[in-house]
Amino acid sequence: MILTLSCPDRPGIVARVSTLLFEHGANIVDAQQFDDGETGRFFMRVVFTPGPGGAEGVRPGLEALAADLAMDWTLRDPKARRRVMILASQTDHCLADLIWRWRQGELPMDISAVVSNHPEASFPHTDLKGIAFHHLPVSPETKADQEARLSELIDATGTDLVILARYMQILSEDMAGRLAGRCINIHHSFLPGFKGARPYHQAHARGVKVIGATAHFVTPDLDEGPIIEQDVERISHRDQPKDLVRKGRDIERRVLARAVRWVLEDRVLLNGRKTVVFTD
């Protein structure tokens, strides 16, 4: 079982949580915590093997603790896989990579659906066998309608997490708000550098020597959501925008895959406009 929690810091939190688990026969196999001295907020992630009575027995105790400590918490059986919807547009490198990793067993999730504003035939080389595909075309005129259908689909498929895998449509403020905390985007720049469109062309024009990619939670403020993961690669004056696009595909794939895996493993906790990431 994976327990995550956050609350205002005060003495005794670890003692109370670990004693509660111990009293129910659980064995803690991993635990990480963080005390944000700036905001006075405490964050913790605990992985434990339940005792003979099972894990559910700890819930009432956690509820009591939560009430007492003003604590946000989640308790999840890692075997209960999250349902994940992947949205993509024309470029499929992030989509194909997520599906490949999922088939390899790297990403503990079920894919509730793949959704694109382009038809399934646009992805001839991505192995979509056994995955529900929905084509939701969009134009400026139909954007509101399309988002309404997308919302319905998210609900109907029991989707827990939405991944914008180079989905080249900007979500409306309303939609971004609805999905707050459960929608991850990959931006193809090292934020906060090169926000907005065509970041590789911006990077080439500015003459930077390193490019990057950023996986972040989507918020109504474009490119301003809490950052989950970033990575970079060196470039040189020889690299044309098309080379940056090629090198960037590799960075985007690994940054997004790491961010998704960490979220699926409950390693990412929101801390205002930032994240706490208990990496492995």
Whole-number Å distance between alpha carbons of 124 and 170: 25
Calculate the alpha carbon distances from 23 to 6, 59, 178 in Å. Answer: 21, 13, 38
**Residues in contact with its own copies, total (CB under 8 A)?**
72
Q: What angle do CA 259, 174, 278 make, to 5 degrees?
A: 20
The single residue among 52, 79, 141, 206 that binds its own copies, judged by CB under 8 A, is 206
Query: Which of 92, 97, 223, 239 does the annotation list as catalytic?
Result: 223
Binding mask 40-59 for its own copies (x = CB under 8 A): -----------x--------
Nearest distance in Å: CB 55, its own copies = 14
What's the distance, Cα to Cα, between the start and end of the chain in Å? 16
Nearest distance in Å: CB 147, its own copies = 28
Nearest distance in Å: CB 27, its own copies = 4
Q: Are 265 and 239 in contact (CB under 8 A)?
A: no
What secondary structure does DSSP assign to 132-187, as a single string? -EEE----GGGHHHHHHHHHHHHHHTT--EEEESS--SPPPHHHHHHTTTSEEEEE
Q: Using CB under 8 A, which of the segments 35-43, 69-77, 135-143, 149-157 binds its own copies?
A: 35-43
Nearest distance in Å: CB 145, its own copies = 33
Task: Compute the half-sphere exposure of residue 59: CA atoms within 13 Å on the CB side of its CA.
Answer: 9
Q: Is 223 a catalytic residue?
A: yes
For residue 275, state whether it binds its own copies (rule: CB under 8 A): yes
For residue 106, state whether it binds its own copies (rule: CB under 8 A): yes
Whole-number Å distance between alpha carbons of 280 and 278: 7
Residue 89 or 151 having the CB closest to its own copies: 89
For residue 194, state whether it binds its own copies (rule: CB under 8 A): yes
The single residue among 59, 135, 201, 273 that binds its own copies, judged by CB under 8 A, is 273
